[in-house]
Amino acid sequence: MTVDGEPEIDPRAFRNVLGQFTTGITVITTFTTEHTPIGFACQSFAALSLDPPLVLFCPTKQSRSWAAIEESGRFCVHVLAEEQRELCARFGSREPDKFADAAWHTSDLDLPVLDGALATIECLVDRVVDGGDHYIAIGRVQTLAESPTADRPLLFYRGQYTAIEPAKTTPAPWRADLDHFLTTTTLDTWL
Ligand SMILES: Cc1cc2nc3c(=O)[nH]c(=O)nc-3n(C[C@H](O)[C@H](O)[C@H](O)COP(=O)(O)O)c2cc1C
């Protein structure tokens, strides 16, 4: 126990245990005030609300990308595809120009959009909540797009990149039902 009576949580145990929770990975981008594209790899992304449409992510308070997002008030979330490991590693580093070898364009909402993601979600910053050494940033969804070609996500599990093995996904006969469940919204459906 610490002096204030809180249990002492070992940081390594925290990482190991929380690392059992598998997530997809996103890259979140914006423009700086000089209109330079900037962004970072972000695992802590989630859908928050359907009505109104809100998403959230948790940037570390040290992130330069977050400082730029706060300043611009807008961001683009890219849900990474399996073949975007290298891009992810670059955006997860502190390299000065992460966009150097990347293919990207500027959207109508004036955001840098990287090619090849499974999905892109453009948002305006709605609210920022304190979360210890991170913030919880809530975004109001403005645009949604899905890639017509890329079909498998890049995953993060136990501190390493991984991917879905095609043979172990839901067998074909179940897909129609599953699709119905995932796309039909009733009062008791989550999202
Ligand atoms: C797979 C992966 C997931 C990450 N998830 C997060 C995250 O959820 N929040 C965060 O602040 N940083 C996360 N990072 C770390 C940032 O991408 C990294 O700190 C980045 O260098 C910040 O750079 P910046 O200062 O240029 O914004 C992640 C990195 C990787 C590789």
Q: How much is the pLDDT for 48?
A: 97
Contact 127, 135 (CB under 8 A): no
Q: How much is the pLDDT for 177?
A: 64
- The CA distance from 86 to 65, in Å, is 19
Best mutation site among 22, 25, 29, 63 for ligand 1, i.e. most ligand atoms within 8 A of its Cβ? 63
Residue 84, CA atoms < 13 Å, CB-side half-sphere: 28
Q: How confident is the model at residue 57 (pLDDT cuts 50, 70, 90)?
A: very high
Which has the closest alpha carbon to 138: 149, 129, 148, 150?
129
Question: What is the CATH number that goes with domain 13-183?
Answer: 2.30.110.10
Counting from 1 in the atom list of ligand 1, the atom nearest the Cα of 60 is 11
Taking only the tens place, the pLDDT of each residue in 155-165 is 999 999 999 87
Residue type, position 156, single letter? F
Q: How much is the pLDDT for 60?
A: 97
Q: Look at residue 172 and tell me whether its pLDDT is greater than 90.
A: no
- Predicted TM-score (pTM) of the model is 0.89
Per-domain residue ranges of the chain: 13-183
Helix count and strand count (H, E) for the chain: 4, 12
Of residues 18 and 174, which shows the higher confidence score? 18
Rounded distance from Cα 42 to ligand 1 centre (Å)? 5
Q: How confident is the model at residue 96 (pLDDT cuts 50, 70, 90)?
A: confident
Give me the residue label for tokens 């093995």: 165
Q: What is the mean pLDDT of the chain?
A: 90
